Homo-oligomer: A and B are copies of this chain.
Amino acid sequence: MSSLTYRLYHHPLDPPSRRVRLALAEKAVVCDFVVEKPWDPSADFLALNPSGEVPVLALEQSGERQILADAQAICEYLDETHAAETLLGKDPVARAEVRRLIGWFDRKFQNEVTVPLLGEKAMKRLTNSGEPDSQIIRAGCHNIHGHLDYIAWLTERRNWLAGDALTFADLAAGAQLSIIDYLGDVPWDQHILAKEWYARLKSRPSFRTILGDHIAGFPPPRHYADLDF
């Protein structure tokens, strides 16, 4: 039987893609990576995932292929199939807390911070769809403070966001924040506790994969990959 191979279709500026890349690295899964533009999916990619969304994980073994789409579906799959060090939590209540926080960052942070900032500052340029709206950018810059305060509140009570151990909740939050940090828009100096949590996350080997991201014509600020930011 040939060995199982993993291929991830992703985009470097897509937070759910980043969450899965972090999860693959935390689980030490060897994977190859294909960049796909979700705003202009190829026909081949649409055949894999009719929603056109990244991330998509293709598994292949002995000529048989499984296609998994949706970051949450992929992360749960990775945890079920690499259960030794769970990133979900050890009992149903702990897992519910991890999943609640994933929802917080993937839905609330995404809508209140990432969509306004990434949408205006990057996606409009990448998709040639007009000028950034400074009012929307201001709203995103305003909204991020509440989320950084919430991270501080959690980490005053817990070692990581959902409890003693690192979980998918930290990866979901880190995936979102690392995108905003790539834009240079995280006010770290006003949020020391959130910065301490992020520094711990950023120094994990799994984070190297996303700190190396460099979008053509759209370089990150100097502190982006710096562990001592």
Contact = CB atoms under 8 A, between A and B. Distances in A.
Interface of A: 50-51, 53, 66, 68-70, 72-74, 76-77, 80-81, 92-93, 95-100, 102-104, 108, 150
B92 A77 contact: yes
Contacts of A103: 69-70, 72-73
Say what secondary structure dominates the interface of chain A.
Answer: helix
Contacts of A108: 51, 53
A95 to B, nearest CB: 7
A77 B93 contact: yes
A99 B70 contact: yes
Contacts of A69: 100, 103
26 contacts: A50-B150, A51-B104, A51-B108, A66-B93, A68-B93, A69-B100, A69-B103, A70-B100, A70-B102, A70-B103, A70-B104, A72-B103, A73-B95, A73-B96, A73-B99, A73-B100, A73-B102, A73-B103, A74-B96, A76-B99, A77-B92, A77-B95, A77-B96, A80-B92, A80-B95, A81-B92
A43 B70 CA distance: 34
Contacts of A150: 50
A150 B46 CA distance: 14
A56 B81 CA distance: 29
Given A51-B108, A74-B96, A80-B95, 7 more contacts: A51-B104, A68-B100, A73-B99, A73-B100, A73-B103, A76-B96, A81-B92
